[in-house]
Structure 1
C-alpha cells in the first residue's frame, strides 16, 4: 500500500518534515484564499457556475484541490476533509520554525 506516487530523498534528518510543512503552508493558504475568492464573487453577484468554471477550469490557479474545494464551497458543504486541529498543529510548527530561521511569513502567521 502506497501513500504517494513517488518517493523523494530530500536530504538529512528533518528535511522531510520541512518539505511537508512547505506543502501544508501552501495548501492552507490556498484553501483560505480560494474560499475568500468564491465568497467575494458571490457577494459581487457573479453566477456560481462562472466562479466555478474560472477557478476549476480556466485560470492559472486551477488545481486538483480547486476542483474538489470550489464545488463544496459553493454548496456550503463544510464536511471535514482534514481535521482543523491537525492543520493548526502544522501551522504552529511552521510558525515556530519560521521564527527559529528568522524567516518573515506575513501570510502564514
Structure 2
C-alpha cells in the first residue's frame, strides 16, 4: 500500500506542528523566565501594550499558537476523511522512500 498525497500532507502538517510546538514552548519558557526575573504579574507582563521590551516575543508567541491551532485543525480535517493536500505546508523534497508497515514512507 502506498501513502496517498493526502497522507503525505498529514505528515508534513504534523512535522510542522511539532516544530512550531517546540518553538512556542521555548519562547514561552524565555518569557516566563523574564517575567519571574522582573517580578511582574502575569496579566501585566503578557500585555504587549504594557510590556514594550517583550512585545515582539509576546506577539510572536500568539502567532505561533495560532499556527498550532490551524495545523491541528488540518489534522482533524484529515482525521474526518477530508482532503488537506491543498494546504500550504512546506514539504521538503523526498530523499528516498522506504517500506514501513506496508506503506511507502518518506525519509529525511
User: Structure 1-normalised TM-score?
Assistant: 0.38
Structure of greater Rg: 2
User: Structure 2-normalised TM-score?
Assistant: 0.38
Higher strand share: 2
* Greater RCO, 1 or 2 (C-alpha within 8 Å, sep 6+): 2
